[in-house]
Amino acid sequence: MKDADIVNLYWERNERALRETRNAYGGLCFKISFNILRNHEDAEECVNDAYLKTWNSIPEERPISLKNWISRIIRNVSINRWKNLHRLKRFSGMTVLLDELDECIPVTNSVEDQIEKKELTQLINRWLSGLEINDRIIFLRRYWYGESVKTIAYDLNVQPGYVSKRLFNLRKNLRGCYESEEYG
């Protein structure tokens, strides 16, 4: 079934939308969640929570890409679960990814910083669109999908050291872009 048809099912409040979403993107959702949590049971629970959240959060405008919409939801649900587990000192698998990105763009929570969030998102999107395709793939697979350097290197048929160096240079480049736009 095509994405547009699945979105129509959501708009019609037809429960078949959940089945079709699971058929089309269940594997991707589990992979994203598992890469963040590194726990099978927690990942499965997050996937189910994401389906419920998807059902309850039909956007006012129909999403252009169902894959991106559901990926964002599962990623957010999984990160929230990770934060809860981390707060309880039960798990620390996501710490490395967040620490690496914190070197580029620090996490802030003031009201003023929240206002700038949309502008920062646009900056990052512009930065990503200016990257060569392989760099964009490496960056997104590491920091959006949470894949390991070793997995990315294997899939791209390169050495892990190459991927690590590219990620280091990409973070450095992102930080420069961030600072040049007067965010830093």
pLDDT of residue 61: 77
- Distance, CA of 179 to CA of 107 (rounded, Å): 14
- Around 114, how many Cα atoms within 13 Å sit in the side-chain half-sphere? 3
Give DSSP secondary structure letters for 107-136: ---SHHHHHTHHHHHHHHHHHHHTS-HHHH
Q: For 91, left (φ over 0), alpha (ψ -120 to 50), or beta?
A: beta
Contacts of 162 (CB under 8 A, 6+ apart): 153
25 neighbors 31 (Cβ within 8 angstroms): no
Q: What is the pLDDT along the chain (184 residues), one digit of tens a residue?
A: 899 999 999 989 999 999 999 999 999 999 999 998 989 999 999 999 999 999 988 777 788 889 989 999 999 999 889 888 776 554 445 556 666 666 666 555 555 656 667 777 788 889 999 999 999 999 998 988 888 899 999 999 999 999 999 999 999 999 888 888 765 4
Q: Which helix (H) or strand (E) holds 156?
A: helix 149-156
As separate numbers, helices (DSSP H) first and strands (DSSP E) second, the chain gives 10, 0
What's the pTM?
0.66
Q: Vertex 123, ends 92 and 143: CA angle to 5°?
A: 25
